A and B are shown apart, each in its own frame.
Chain A
């Protein structure tokens, strides 16, 4: 019973957070960003239904997101043109139906196998649909895409959804509904069998389940939620274009889900929020942002394959019995070389970027962390390299202590 209560509390907190977020972050940019986060949370969770829950690595999930979005955009235009009484908040249902339909259609051919074959078929289908989008212009609108106007739909209790804040709450509502539904799905017989098929497909066959059917059903439901996310994106941007359907978007959702952590239900939520935030704001801070993205991904794969959620969940039992403070001294000790390492790395990347890319036109003078210096002189390079290698070395020195602290804390946690 306690677990039910804990879950209820978690979802209540989630609802409150969604409701209060615009009060804490009221700026237009924050609203835009949070709206996008809501969309991406649904998208990433739907992807994790495949990767994390069922063990299917897809390279073409954007197909369902995009098709859901295009259908929603057309539906909005159709409703507006014919003055039908359908309000905007009902439009994501169109996305869901579209996602489900295409999930069933393409899933029927792609879920017959698991593993590498599934991944490669998803890659092929992804490329084909993306290319098809370039050919079938009447539906996909060529490069310009399909534009729509959300205000032209019938008002919903007087709301016309012109201002971003209203759109935010619409997305927040759907985000909450979808997250709750997807969480519930994991608690059903079907959800369990997805895990079983992921863990050991052969065994699942010998307890009476057709793994193909389980994969197919997971695929359809996942595509349905991706369709909702796509529809919300169409509402948010009032524009759907073929880039949303392509390999880039498929890669992005993989990145979000993996960085967040595929082993925990809430992992992709964290990943979606972090990556969306970085995507929108990192490009203002550094021109080498794509490099940081790639490095982040590699580092997560190498050092935290459980993603952010995996890292956090190590601390969960400690937090529960109050032993987390035992880790504090070790963390404090590790933070010094870690900060040095990160600062050194950023400095090296930024200086290299400046000297290689910008120095030719802007000169060697540059600013970093508020300091002005000459990128051509050796001193800053020495400092950065010292920070980087010193940090790496220091981290290596203190790492055993952290490992030990973890082990001790965890052992004590188990005893309690």
Chain B
């Protein structure tokens, strides 16, 4: 209940008007902290609080302490807008969010309009996990920066990897029926056709989002199609239930996923016993990361009992601190101008660049598979005894997807 006092402050705020004295740099963390999405949102929050502590231990931002304000958006875009307003009222000029592309689109739109209408009070939005392509294409905004690889980049990486896998012959696509899932499906079909014209797409399924309790009928269909590989963008319960039904029916296929590593995913895979059959595409792998990253991973796990899921959050905060330093200012506009085109060291090793055209971050990507830990590998997941094993690395340069972004710069 440390936040009880915050609540009281907020009640006072209602009458007192906007806070003026800014002793700390405030960043609003607007993600689900209640309901089904909270399991992810809570872990994200730990990342940011931990990263803020690190920055503060090194002297803060221009001598001021960085403070994370947790705000619960209840996975609802309209609610997220209210929470953003709350963050701004509390004096935050930076907000960060990741879960849900619809929320991200709403926040990006809100921030853009807000800055337009309140010159001199601009707010900057850092996106660490919403991957919908449109955010850095037709809906791009100068005030939005994304550190997670967008959907096209991830699919480029997956299909590049599949180029080197000749035993993949028949591919089945199953995705959630909403904009992200449809995007994944379209990208997979296009890219496979371009890179592996010999591969046959034997099924292309869209199922309702988070509404299916029994995937057995879908698995029956996949089996009937004779697929050897399944590509899916499913997340949350939709990936866990899908894999479980697959194991029940004895489906022997390789799974290329975006989010099998998400909360509960590893537990589900372990339960199904699918050894090194489930792959995911990420920006870092603890078992093969550089030593500095492994050390941080150990520290994080010891402290919070969870995996450091978001290496990209580390990249985000490091680059934020760097931009403040280079701009020698805490003004969001100045920081944004420094972030554009910035190249920086990446948590897992190597370097990455924030592309100026669309504010999309590019770095090396990794294909991993999940199974019993190799000797010498340190990190398992969700206490299953199984861990991720690197299967391929796709260089940043090879994922350089084009953008249609026409950015309006202030």
Tell yes or no: B35 within 8 A of A by CB: yes
CB contacts (< 8 Å) of A149 on chain B: these are 113
Contact stretch, chosen from B2-10, B227-235, B374-382? B2-10
CB contacts (< 8 Å) of A370 on chain B: these are 4-5
Give A162 Cβ to nearest chain B Cβ, in Å: 4
Nearest 10 pairs of A and B residues by beta carbon: A285-B7, A143-B102, A283-B72, A162-B117, A29-B89, A142-B179, A144-B105, A368-B1, A30-B14, A361-B304
State A340–B397 Cα separation when bound (angstroms): 64
Provide the B4-31 mask, 1 if CB < 8 A to any CB of A, else 0.
1111001101111110000000000000
Tell yes or no: B329 within 8 A of A by CB: no
Q: Are B305 and A360 closer than 8 Å at their CB atoms?
A: yes
Tell yes or no: B71 within 8 A of A by CB: yes
Choose among A33, A143, A285 the residue that contacts B4 (Cβ–Cβ < 8 A). A285
Tell yes or no: B400 within 8 A of A by CB: no
With contacts A28-B88, A32-B85, A134-B209 taken as known, whether A144 is within 8 angstroms of B1 at the C-beta atoms is no
Q: Are B178 and A285 closer than 8 Å at their CB atoms?
A: no
Provide the A261-288 mask, 1 if CB < 8 A to any CB of B, else 0.
0000000000000000000110111110
Q: Are A367 and B2 closer than 8 Å at their CB atoms?
A: yes
Q: Are A27 and B15 closer than 8 Å at their CB atoms?
A: yes
Tell yes or no: A147 within 8 A of B by CB: yes
State A379–B100 Cα separation when bound (angstroms): 42
CB contacts (< 8 Å) of B180 on chain A: these are 143
Tell yes or no: A237 within 8 A of B by CB: yes
Give A73 Cβ to nearest chain B Cβ, in Å: 12
Give B97 Cβ to nearest chain A Cβ, in Å: 14
Q: Are B89 and A239 closer than 8 Å at their CB atoms?
A: no
Residues of A within 8 A of B (CB): 24-30, 32-33, 36, 131, 134, 137, 142-145, 147, 149, 151, 162-164, 233, 237-239, 241, 243-244, 280-281, 283-287, 289-290, 350, 354, 360-361, 366-370
Tell yes or no: B86 within 8 A of A by CB: yes
State A370–B77 Cα separation when bound (angstroms): 33
State A123–B85 Cα separation when bound (angstroms): 33
Of residues 71 through 85 on chain B, the ones whose CB sits less than 8 Å from some CB of chain A are 71-72, 74, 76-78, 81-82, 85
Q: Are A29 and B13 closer than 8 Å at their CB atoms?
A: yes
Identify the closest chain A residue to B177 (Cβ).
Answer: A134
CB contacts (< 8 Å) of B117 on chain A: these are 151, 162-163
CB contacts (< 8 Å) of B116 on chain A: these are 151
Give A151 Cβ to nearest chain B Cβ, in Å: 7
State A253–B200 Cα separation when bound (angstroms): 50
Residues of B within 8 A of A (CB): 1-7, 10-11, 13-18, 33-35, 38, 46, 71-72, 74, 76-78, 81-82, 85-86, 88-89, 100-102, 105-106, 109-110, 113, 116-117, 132, 134, 177-180, 208-209, 303-306
CB contacts (< 8 Å) of B179 on chain A: these are 137, 142-144
State A63–B81 Cα separation when bound (angstroms): 22
Q: Are B178 and A142 closer than 8 Å at their CB atoms?
A: yes
Identify the closest chain A residue to B19 (Cβ).
Answer: A27
CB contacts (< 8 Å) of A369 on chain B: these are 1, 4
With contacts A27-B89, A284-B10, A284-B71 taken as known, whether A144 is within 8 angstroms of B102 at the C-beta atoms is yes
State A248–B74 Cα separation when bound (angstroms): 12
State A354–B1 Cα separation when bound (angstroms): 8
Q: Are B106 and A145 closer than 8 Å at their CB atoms?
A: yes
CB contacts (< 8 Å) of A147 on chain B: these are 105-106, 109
Identify the closest chain B residue to A29 (Cβ).
Answer: B89
Q: Are B78 and A237 closer than 8 Å at their CB atoms?
A: yes
Q: Are A287 and B46 closer than 8 Å at their CB atoms?
A: no
CB contacts (< 8 Å) of A32 on chain B: these are 82, 85-86
Q: Are B78 and A243 closer than 8 Å at their CB atoms?
A: yes
Q: Are B178 and A134 closer than 8 Å at their CB atoms?
A: yes
